[in-house]
Amino acid sequence: MTKKKKKSVKKDRQEKRLQCLSEKEQQKIDDIAECLAETEYQIKCQCAIDILIAKLQMINTELSKQKGRTVVNQISSRKKSAESIYAKLVRKGYKTDFQTAAEKLNDLVGVRVVCPFEDEVYEVANILKAQGDVEVLKEKDYIKVPKKNGYKSLHITLEIPIYFAKGSQKQKVEVQFRTVAMDYWSVLDYQLFYKKQLDGSDEVAAELKKYAEDIAKLDARMLKPRDKIEKI
């Protein structure tokens, strides 16, 4: 067999191996998607989201009446897709199945809370954590200690009790608290995430990190005029 043919055979084998791996990966993603689509899981996740949103809306109503302005600008939610779950399991070196995801990952279900000011991020978060029917499993403060790329947000993993006719179950939900400015920055960074392999992305990432620092300074500076206005 000539060197040219050997190379061709080797290439064909590599392509087939990659194709088989891709099919295997897709099957695992499909298996995760099937578990996500189960009715009981969907109900449990949606109930956990609804309960948290109701709690946050009540906190916002109370604080907004006290302060005479809106304290929570936005509340949104999402359920992690099968593709995202699989990618995160691979990235962390875990087994790539739904049971492992449910045990090891905290962000299968997420709620995002956006406040106008940094101190109110902590105020809302602390009121929520103090409620007796939620359990705090984990807390990561990326506001005080930002990620290397400049990302800032307060992440709290809560366990929410869900009551069914047959008994109660618990659902983990990751709640992200951030300011309007932090949220604006994170949208831009998220878009960059999907273009990291493009030319010039490193330069843009460096610029974004600088803007994150500028936004942090702006968040701090905005507290002064707010406090002056509230004293009038």
Strand partners, 167: 164
User: Would you mind telling me the total number of residues written for the chain in this entry?
Assistant: 232
- Per-residue pLDDT averaged across 87-115, rounded? 96
Q: Are strands 109-115 and 167-179 parallel, antiparallel or unpaired?
A: parallel
Q: How many CB atoms lie within 10 A of CB 195?
A: 11
Question: Is the model's pLDDT at 144 over the cut of 90?
Answer: yes
Q: Does the domain made of 18-179 have the CATH classification 3.30.460.10?
A: yes
Cα 75 vs. chain centroid, distance in angstroms? 13
Q: Which sign, positive or negative, has the C-alpha torsion 10, 13, 17, 23? A: positive
pLDDT classification of 8: cutoffs 50, 70, 90: very low
Mean pLDDT of all residues belonging to the chain: 88
Quote the pLDDT of residue 9.
42
Question: Is the model's pLDDT at 14 over the cut of 50?
Answer: no
pLDDT classification of 72: cutoffs 50, 70, 90: very high
pLDDT classification of 188: cutoffs 50, 70, 90: confident
Least confident of 30-34, 37-41, 166-170: 166-170
Q: Which sign, positive or negative, has the C-alpha torsion 120, 123, 124, 129? A: positive
Q: What residue segments make up the domains of the chain, in order of their start? A: 18-179
102: left (phi over 0), alpha (psi -120 to 50) or beta: alpha
Quote the pLDDT of residue 105.
97
Question: Is the model's pLDDT at 166 over the cut of 80?
Answer: yes
Quote the pLDDT of residue 101.
97
Q: What is the pTM of this model?
A: 0.83
User: Which one, of 121, 193, 116, 195, lies nearest residue 154 by Cα?
Assistant: 121
